[in-house]
Amino acid sequence: MANPSTIQLQVELDEQKVPEKIFWQAAEGGVYTPTEAKAFMLSIWDVNESAVLKIDLWTKKMMVDEMDDFFYQTIMSMADTYERATKNKSISEEMRTFSKSLKEKMESEMKKNQL
């Protein structure tokens, strides 16, 4: 059997079960002590159901501009992962173009809301 690798997530909830703090740790990835995060998205491919199982959590401290950056960077990262996994550069580039366009719209919305 291969050596198992462990990724730990710890979520501290308030009285209404809303995340207040999130910590993660992955020794094999070089993160040896619990490290604070404001959000995470976990997607797992269920081989039996041929469907995605997912958990999306963010803390009360996560600001809208941080969420915008989080989504932009996540989609860009997904494009990189998709390209490595499939070698399909054209689809990966389309994902990156979409992400950049989305980022521009997010910034525009943020400016409108500040006026």
pLDDT value at position 2? 80
Residues 72 and 108 in one domain: yes
Residues 73 and 30 in one domain: no
pLDDT value at position 115? 72
pLDDT value at position 83? 98
Instruction: Tell me what percent of the residues of the chain surpass a pLDDT of 70.
Output: 99
Residues 29 and 43 in one domain: yes
Nearest-angstrom CA–CA distance, 18 and 87: 40
Residue with tokens 């997912």: 54
Domain boundary among 60, 79, 98: 60
Number of domains making up the chain: 2
**Is the pLDDT reported for residue 108 higher than 90?**
yes
**What average pLDDT does this structure show over 42-49?**
96
Domain region containing 83: 63-115
Residues 13 and 47 in one domain: yes
Residues 51 and 74 in one domain: no
**Is the pLDDT reported for residue 94 higher than 90?**
yes
Residues 49 and 70 in one domain: no
Instruction: Kindly report the pTM of this predicted structure.
Output: 0.87
Residues 1 and 55 in one domain: yes
Nearest-angstrom CA–CA distance, 98 and 48: 31
Residues 113 and 85 in one domain: yes
pLDDT value at position 50? 97
110-115 long-range Cβ contacts below 8 angstroms, 24+ apart? 110/64, 110/65, 110/68
